[in-house]
């Protein structure tokens, strides 16, 4: 019974220690899944950060000049570092917990197996001793019984007078033999019993307690080890908290660096046009028999007094409101010709004296015009941009003055950098040539002459380009009303070489109806005295004639940029129709403008047209 009870205890201990190993393996699995979550989280964070990073050579890169977007970029970079700390958590948990505990579990299984093997071996040994004792005891008992029977038989034979002496002696000897066997069995039993008692004492007081003690120590080490692993689990997480805190601090710092005033100023600088607000509109008295006029400071400048200011007749620039297309306002306020008028139905000029859209026709009320403007959709392409094919001009004249100035300044800076690079190369080659001259064995001095000549030509071309763009830049800076003389470009070419460029640009960017196109629709009038312009316009070389034309009908050009012609009149063609229905003609040195192409018959010079 005691043996069975002890065996039950071994079974209980075996089940409990196996449960302990299962708990350890479950914790290892838990930590492993946590590391996988950390890795997955870090990967998702990195992908998220990469997804919102600005793409190279894209418009997004320009957006990162604002402090708010730079702060967002800093946040994305810090999220990368933040993700890296979660990768560190995963790596440390894998090496310090998962890997260590996996090896420990293998060692624990081997140790447990050894302890229970020793326990089973001790149990088997004591059971064997017990069996030997039982066998010795049964043999001693049997021999004692046999000796008693032999003694009784001898006594019976000795008392019987009929039994021969020899039979009695035989019975006596048998009784003595059985008695001796019983004594021997007794001695053996006694020896076996002493041995068993000693083995049993050692078993219950030494072997089994030692085995139980080892199993207990093994189990306690397992418990301590899983506790230490849990501490490591928390410590690994705690170690990255300072670095994660720094990442969060950097995000906070980036957020605090956002400057709303600076961002607003950047927007202002990016979209500042340099336009002046429109002036007041004069009262139009319809009770007087006079033409409707608009003051010179209003949204749209009329042709003005051509005699008092001959150099600006048909070319004066009107001030624009920054958010309104000038050609739209001009069409709404003064009803100019947008498309050219069709030819009259009859050949007689009196049939349609002023064309279908003559400025002398009755104008609509101003309030109705403004209502039409407020409800109309903005035009995508203006008249002039369609005429010129919609491509951006080299002088950036399609931009507002302030933006054009920035673009031109940027272009000048780029060209100056290119010049500096070319000059650096030329200096380096010059030094190399000097070395070759002093040491002919190192190379032929004439071998670099061709390259030096190329660099010289390149530098000269770039300088010409710089002069051209600086001229445009000086023109724009002269037009800006808010800029002072100190802020203007200090270029000697401003007065000398660019007066004709200013004039030609002014002519070229006007449409026949006198309104500016989208390319120049946001440009303000030049704040330069009229006398300066007189000199500049006097120096302008007129456009060459490319042919002649004959007026088929009478056309009274009442709008800015047009010219009136009489039926049958012969004139010079200086610019043929570009696809918009207008042809540019000249009567004399002072009179030129646009007429509808359908009103004239053009005879182009072959040489001029070919050129």
Number of Cβ atoms within 10 Å of the Cβ of 477: 20
Q: Which residue has the higher pLDDT, 234 or 441?
A: 234
Q: What is the mean pLDDT of the chain?
A: 75
Query: In this predicted structure, what is the pLDDT of residue 448?
Result: 79
CB within 8 Å of 148: residues ≥ 6 apart? none
DSSP β-bridge partners for residue 551: 600
E strands present in 41-82 = none
164, two tokens: 């021969």
Higher pLDDT, 608 or 456: 456
Q: Burial level of 97, CB count in 10 A (0-12/13-18/19+)?
A: buried
Inform me whether the pLDDT recorded for 420 exceeds 50: yes
pLDDT value of residue 476 = 75
Residue of higher predicted confidence among 42 and 274: 42
C-alpha–C-alpha distance, residues 399 and 516, integer Å: 12
Dihedral sign (CA 110, 113, 119, 125): negative
Mean pLDDT of 467-479: 79
State the SS3 of 482-550: CCCHHHCCCCCHHHHCCHHHHHHHHHHCECCCCCECCCCCCCCCCCCCHHHHHHHHHHCCCCCCCEEEE
- Lookup: tokens for 423: 């000059």
Q: What is the pLDDT of residues 160-193, one digit of tens each?
A: 878 788 888 888 888 889 899 989 988 998 999 9
**Using an 8 Å Cβ cutoff, are 515 and 560 in contact?**
yes
Task: Return the higher-pLDDT residue of 258 and 350.
Answer: 258
- Render pLDDT for 536-587 as a digit per residue (tens, 0 to 9): 444 456 678 888 999 999 988 777 788 889 998 899 998 888 888 889 999 8
Measured CA to CA, the distance from residue 163 to residue 174 in angstroms comes to 16
For the entire predicted model, the pTM comes to 0.48
Question: Rounded to whole angstroms, how far apart are CA atoms 253 and 141?
Answer: 99
pLDDT at 390 (0 to 100):
44
Confidence (pLDDT) at 265: 87
CA distance 373 to 330: 11
The 10s digit of each residue's pLDDT in 210-224 is: 999 999 999 999 999
DSSP 301-359: -----TTTSGGGTTTPPPP--TTS-HHHHHHHHT---SSPPPPPSSS-TTTSTT-TT-T
pLDDT in tens, 255-314: 999 999 998 988 888 887 777 788 888 888 888 654 444 444 444 444 344 333 333 333
Please give the average per-residue pLDDT across 87-106, as a whole number.
95
Q: What is the mean pLDDT of residues 387-416?
A: 75
Whether the per-residue pLDDT at 70 is higher than 50: the answer is: yes
Q: How confident is the model at residue 3 (pLDDT cuts 50, 70, 90)?
A: low
């Amino acid at each position: 019974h005691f043996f069975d009870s002890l065996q039950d205890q071994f079974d209980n201990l075996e089940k409990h220690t196996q449960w302990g190993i299962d708990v350890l393996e479950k914790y290892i699995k838990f930590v492993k899944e946590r590391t996988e979550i950390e890795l997955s989280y870090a990967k998702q964070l990195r992908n998220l950060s990469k997804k919102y990073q600005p793409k190279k050579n894209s418009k997004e890169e320009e957006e990162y000049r604002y402090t708010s977007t730079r702060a967002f970029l800093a946040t994305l970079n810090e999220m990368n570092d933040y993700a890296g700390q979660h990768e560190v958590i995963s790596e440390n948990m894998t090496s310090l917990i998962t890997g260590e505990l996996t090896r420990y579990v293998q060692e624990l299984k081997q140790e447990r197996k050894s302890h229970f093997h020793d326990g089973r071996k001790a149990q088997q040994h004591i059971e064997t001793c017990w069996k030997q004792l039982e066998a010795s005891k049964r043999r001693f008992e049997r021999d004692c019984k046999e000796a008693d029977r032999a003694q009784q038989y001898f006594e019976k034979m000795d008392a019987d007078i009929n039994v021969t002496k020899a039979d009695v002696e035989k019975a006596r000897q048998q009784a003595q033999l059985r008695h001796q066997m019983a004594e021997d069995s007794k001695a053996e039993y006694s020896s076996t019993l002493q041995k068993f008692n000693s083995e049993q004492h050692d078993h219950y007081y030494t072997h089994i307690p030692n085995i139980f003690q080892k199993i207990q120590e093994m189990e306690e080490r397992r418990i301590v080890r899983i506790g230490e692993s849990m501490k490591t689990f928390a410590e690994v997480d705690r170690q990255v908290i300072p670095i994660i805190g720094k990442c969060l601090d950097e995000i906070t710092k980036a957020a605090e660096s956002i400057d709303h005033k600076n961002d607003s100023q950047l927007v202002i600088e990016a979209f500042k046009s340099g336009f002046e607000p429109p002036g007041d509109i004069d009262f139009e008295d319809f009770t007087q028999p006079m033409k409707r006029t608009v003051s010179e400071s209003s949204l749209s400048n009329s042709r003005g007094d051509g005699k008092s200011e001959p150099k600006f007749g048909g070319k004066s620039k009107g001030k624009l409101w920054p958010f309104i297309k000038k050609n739209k306002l001009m069409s709404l306020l003064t009803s100019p010709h947008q498309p050219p008028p069709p030819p009259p139905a009859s050949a007689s000029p009196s049939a349609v004296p002023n064309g279908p859209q003559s400025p002398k026709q009755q104008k609509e009320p101003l309030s109705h015009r403004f209502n039409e403007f407020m409800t109309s959709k903005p035009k995508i392409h203006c008249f002039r941009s369609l005429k010129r094919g919609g491509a951006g001009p080299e002088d950036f004249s399609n931009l507002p003055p302030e933006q054009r100035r920035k673009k031109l300044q940027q272009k000048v800076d780029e060209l100056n950098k290119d010049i500096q690079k070319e000059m650096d190369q030329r200096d380096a080659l010059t030094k190399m040539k000097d070395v070759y001259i002093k040491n002919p064995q190192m190379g032929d001095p004439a071998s670099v002459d061709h390259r030096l000549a190329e660099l010289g030509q390149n530098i000269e071309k770039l300088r010409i380009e710089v002069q051209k763009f600086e001229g445009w830049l000086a023109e724009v800076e002269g037009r800006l009303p808010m800029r002072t003389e100190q802020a203007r470009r200090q270029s000697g070419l401003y007065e000398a070489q660019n007066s004709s460029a200013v004039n030609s640009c002014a002519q070229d960017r006007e449409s026949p109806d006198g309104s500016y196109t989208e390319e120049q629709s946001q440009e303000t009038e030049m704040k330069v005295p009229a006398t300066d312009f007189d000199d500049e316009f006097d120096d302008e070389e007129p456009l060459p004639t490319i042919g002649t034309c004959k007026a088929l009908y009478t056309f009274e050009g009442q709008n800015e940029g047009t010219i009136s012609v009489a039926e049958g009149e012969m004139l010079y063609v200086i610019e043929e129709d570009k696809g918009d229905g207008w042809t540019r003609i000249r009567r004399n040195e002072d009179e030129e403008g646009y007429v509808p192409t359908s009103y004239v018959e053009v005879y182009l010079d072959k040489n001029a047209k070919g050129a």
